[in-house]
Amino acid sequence: MSLPAVDAVVIGAGAGGGIVAKELAVAGLKVVLLERGKWHNAWDCLKDDLKNQRTNPLGNSFGPDDDRNPRVVVDSNGRQRIVEPSGPGYSNNAACVGGGTFSYGAMAWRFLPKDFRMRSTYGTPAGSTLDDWPISYEELEPRYTKAEWEIGVSGDNRQNPFFGPQSKPLPMPPLIPTKEETILHAGAQKLGLHPFPIPMLRNTIPYNGRGACMRCRWCVGFACEVDAKCGTQNTVIPTALATGNCELRTGCMVKEIQVDGRGHATGIAYYDEHDHLREQPANLVVVAGSAVETARLLLNSKSRLFPNGIGNRYDWVGRNLQGHTYTGAYGIFDEETYDDLGPGASIAICDYNHGNPGLAGGAMLANEFIRTPIQFTGILPPGMPKWGKAHKDYMRSFYRRMITVMGPTQEIPHFESRVTVDPRVLDYWGIPVARLSGPRHPHTLEIANVMSEKAEAWLKASGAVRTWQRKASQGTSGGQHQAGTCRMGVDPKASVVNKYGQVHEADNVFIADGSLHVTNGGFNPVLTIMALAYHVSDYLVREWRGTRFRS
Amino acid sequence: MRTQERLPRRRFLQVAAATGTAAATVGCGTDVSPWRTLTRAEGDTLAALCDQIIPPDQDAGASEAGVVDFLDRQLSGRYKRHRRLYREGIEAVNRIADGSFARLEPARQLELIQRVEAGKESKESAAFFALLVTHTMQGYYGMPRHGGNRNYASWRMIGVPVRPLRGRRPENEVRG
């Protein structure tokens, strides 16, 4: 039942796990990289608007499968319901090699310097756990650069005056502007704002042995047909395997991290692709299952020394669950704005990330990925009926004349927004499932609603003849940008890991995903997750050369 | 290599009847249903309901675009879980219509479903109608591979190019 020991086990072959596996393998460690999902590739690109990771009435496309992986979601009235991955409120991310990086829209944002010191900048709003990160933008900067060059990012960050200093320019230029981008650019300049092309983890020229984006309209939620979208599955993971030091095992569900009597991890127990329970001994365990699953795994790894789960002596594991609160506005134009040139999202402003009077933070604002027709059926101006002749007329008249501007408002962390485990609801393998509960902080909603106004103003300045806002609503946080559940910190009583992602209580257990984030920026978080993975890996490699993490 | 074994014809028909694939040849006369999940009457009711949700005009309405085909297919697949709600909802709508919703005049049909939608009949029929609106939109505007959007009728209507882009185009060049 027990497999031959390896130096390191990495749990989750996604944005963080793929990078850690490669860095360790290149440094000479023997690594087992475990992934619950399958290894999909460009051949699995279905372009099915009813079955993908973004719109999934007929199921999701890249996991996890609905039959085996329920969660419990608690609404604001305290009512609990069991949800499947394709159901509302689940907070799903693709479960496959590459994780979310296989099917994301691929926005590649560096957080701003102030995003790492939110408490120093704004103070802590009452009732929140807003705090500074134990690392600064400057410390993380080289890792952002490494991610941009190794995974592959295109754009022109010099056009954004709000970005922090960047040690190298991006390796690839941005795509040629679309009609929407030209329209919005003019509007932004009229308002004195500073528009720039969205940095993307996307090839715009041949790079890293793969071709350039084909500008189709099937990006966010889909696999890339031409493999131009950059993820860990087509960059660092193949590199890791090529070293000969890394073994990737798919279809594997980790049950728990095993520890000895002194709190030192000895390895993990997991169910292999045939559902046989295996033990994989290792000197080092790195958890990168994304904020919900990583917290779930730690909470389920109970022992005499850790009766409430590894790293959870002070009840901070699973706390401060964050995502982003998306708000914005829609604008209808007299002229056609649609040119069928993907991916759609192309232009952004950072003028409202910080410095908003009376608000702790803000959001980046950008245009949206191309909406599929079925997505468009739900984007209705106030008073528009949801069906009937009027709705059909609306679809016919306005599908090609509408621009959406949205932004991910940086959430104010809340201690009660959390992941716990439900002992009565078990998944297919008998493991207690994650339970998501808790509110959004009221100040988050305030900020988000101001962002809607800014989005609407931008659309108006760009010539929209009719606009309406999408406002914030209360509800459980998380979502695809899930973060914060095992936050970094200096104080072991108010955090789960130290500044290197090392669990305070278990010196050979590390975390390398969005769980680490103290706050989650006003941006899609994946590039920051990647940068942190390089940051954690650097520490792991240096420490391994010393103690080899042996007890 | 396994040699293919062909079932004797009688056995094939027994198997086919059991799995419903030969349903069209079973039964008699007007009871024959062209659908795999729905009865003929249920299909007719749904067609009438969907044609109120997305009415025919200069572009195809829901039934012409194959939405009932989509519903029938999904009710055997992903939407099996909704079968009871559909059956009972269709029954309720026909009951309120004093027999047959499909035979009412369009204006009366619209009145009836507006009452249903507002919850003035029952909570269940309101839930059924809300779900039917969602599913009708999927069947009309989604990919044809699921049974609806026949010949990309809705995409042509709203101006979405019908074939996905493939290969490089001049627009793929990047800014210098």
Q: Are A354 and A436 in contact (CB under 8 A)?
A: no
Which of A175, A217, A376 is opposite residue B174, by nearest beta carbon?
A175
Tell me whether residues A58 and B154 touch, CB distance under 8 A: no
Q: How far apart are CA A523 and CA A520, in angstroms?
A: 8
Q: How far apart are CA A42 and CA A63, in angstroms?
A: 16
Closest Cα partner for A390 from A377, A406, A403? A377
Nearest CA in chain A to B140: A374
Which of A50, A58, A373 is opposite residue B155, by nearest beta carbon?
A373
Mean pLDDT of B17-45: 70
Nearest CA in chain B to A205: B174
Substitution target in B111, B136, B146, B160 with the highest count of A β-carbons within 10 Å is B160
Mean pLDDT of B71-99: 96
Tell me whether residues A395 and B154 touch, CB distance under 8 A: yes
Q: How far apart are CA A536 and CA A19, in angstroms?
A: 10
Which tens digits make up the pLDDT trace of B86-106?
999 999 999 999 999 999 999
Contacts of B170 (CB under 8 A, 6+ apart): none
Q: Supply the pLDDT for residue A107.
A: 98
Q: What confidence category does residue B172 fall into, taking pLDDT thresholds of 50, 70 and 90?
A: very low
Of the CA atoms within 13 Å of residue A154, those in its CB half-sphere come to 25
Tell me whether residues A388 and B55 touch, CB distance under 8 A: yes
Which of B141, B164, B168 is opposite residue A47, by nearest beta carbon?
B164
Which of A213, A217, A377 is opposite residue B172, by nearest beta carbon?
A213
Closest Cα partner for A439 from A408, A412, A405? A412
Q: Cβ of A399: how many Cβ atoms within 10 Å?
A: 22
Q: Supply the pLDDT for residue A76.
A: 86
Enumerate the H helices of chain B as residue ranges.
9-19, 40-53, 67-75, 83-96, 106-117, 123-141, 153-158
Q: Supply the pLDDT for residue A170.
A: 98
Q: Is B163 on the interface with A (CB under 8 A)?
A: no
**How many whole angstroms from its chain centre is CA B71?**
3
Tell me whether residues A400 and B165 touch, CB distance under 8 A: no
Contacts of A549 (CB under 8 A, 6+ apart): A283, A284, A507, A508, A543
Q: How far apart are CA A302 and CA A304, in angstroms?
A: 7
Nearest CA in chain A to B173: A176
Phi and psi for B173 in degrees, rounded to 5? Answer: -65, 155
Contacts of B118 (CB under 8 A, 6+ apart): B126
Structure tokens at B61: 């309405």
Contacts of B75 (CB under 8 A, 6+ apart): B37, B38, B82, B83, B86
Tell me whether residues B52 and A216 touch, CB distance under 8 A: no
Q: How far apart are CA A411 and CA A362, in angstroms?
A: 9
Nearest CA in chain A to B50: A388
Q: Which amino acid is at A177?
A: P
Listed in order, strand segments (DSSP E) in A52-181 are: 71-74, 80-83
Q: Supply the pLDDT for residue B17.
A: 44
Q: How far apart are CA A519 and CA A114, in angstroms?
A: 11
Tell me whether residues B137 and A215 touch, CB distance under 8 A: no
Chain B: nearest CA to A356, how far in angstroms?
33
From chain B, the residues in CB contact with A374 under 8 A are 137-138, 141-142
Q: How far apart are CA A322 and CA A415, in angstroms?
A: 10
Q: Supply the pLDDT for residue A280.
A: 98
From chain B, the residues in CB contact with A392 under 8 A are 54-55, 57, 59
Q: Are A27 and A37 in contact (CB under 8 A)?
A: no
Chain A: nearest CA to B22, how far in angstroms?
26
Substitution target in A340, A347, A392, A402 with the highest count of B β-carbons within 10 Å is A392
Q: Cβ of A144: how many Cβ atoms within 10 Å?
A: 26
Q: Supply the pLDDT for residue B29.
A: 52
Q: Supply the pLDDT for residue A251.
A: 98
Q: Are A94 and A506 in contact (CB under 8 A)?
A: no
Q: What confidence category does residue B166 fall into, taking pLDDT thresholds of 50, 70 and 90?
A: low
Q: Cβ of B170: how many Cβ atoms within 10 Å?
A: 6
Q: Supply the pLDDT for residue A526.
A: 98
Q: What is the sign, positive or negative, of the torsion defined by CA atoms of B148, B152, B154, B155?
A: positive
Q: What share of chain A is helix, strand, coil (3-state, %, to 5)?
A: 25, 20, 55
Tell me whether residues B146 and A212 touch, CB distance under 8 A: no
**How many whole angstroms from its chain centre is CA A526?**
5
Tell me whether residues A373 and B176 touch, CB distance under 8 A: no
Contacts of A158 (CB under 8 A, 6+ apart): A166, A169
Contacts of A295 (CB under 8 A, 6+ apart): A317, A318, A321, A419, A434, A485, A486, A515
Q: Supply the pLDDT for residue A550.
A: 84
Tell me whether residues A176 and B54 touch, CB distance under 8 A: no
Q: Which amino acid is at A464?
A: A
Structure tokens at A452: 């809607």
Residue B1 has pLDDT above 50, yes or no: no
From chain B, the residues in CB contact with A224 under 8 A are none
Tell me whether residues A217 and B165 touch, CB distance under 8 A: yes
Q: Are A125 and A414 in contact (CB under 8 A)?
A: no
Q: How far apart are CA B149 and CA A335, in angstroms?
A: 27
Q: Supply the pLDDT for residue B167.
A: 52
Q: Supply the pLDDT for residue A318.
A: 98
Q: Are A487 and A315 in contact (CB under 8 A)?
A: no
SS (H, E, C) A306-365: CCCCCCCCCCCCCCCCECEEEEEEEEECCCCCCCCCCCCCCEEECCCCCCCCCCCCCCCE
Phi and psi for A529 in degrees, rounded to 5? Answer: -60, -45
β-bridge pairing A246-249 and A196-197: unpaired
Q: Supply the pLDDT for residue B169.
A: 45
From chain B, the residues in CB contact with A340 under 8 A are 160-161, 165
Does the predicted model carry a pTM greater than 0.90?
yes
Q: What confidence category does residue B174 fall into, taking pLDDT thresholds of 50, 70 and 90?
A: very low
Q: How far apart are CA A305 and CA A300, in angstroms?
A: 13
Q: Are A271 and A255 in contact (CB under 8 A)?
A: yes
Where chain A has pLDDT below 70, the residues are: 1
Q: What confidence category does residue B164 fall into, taking pLDDT thresholds of 50, 70 and 90?
A: low
Structure tokens at A177: 């502007």
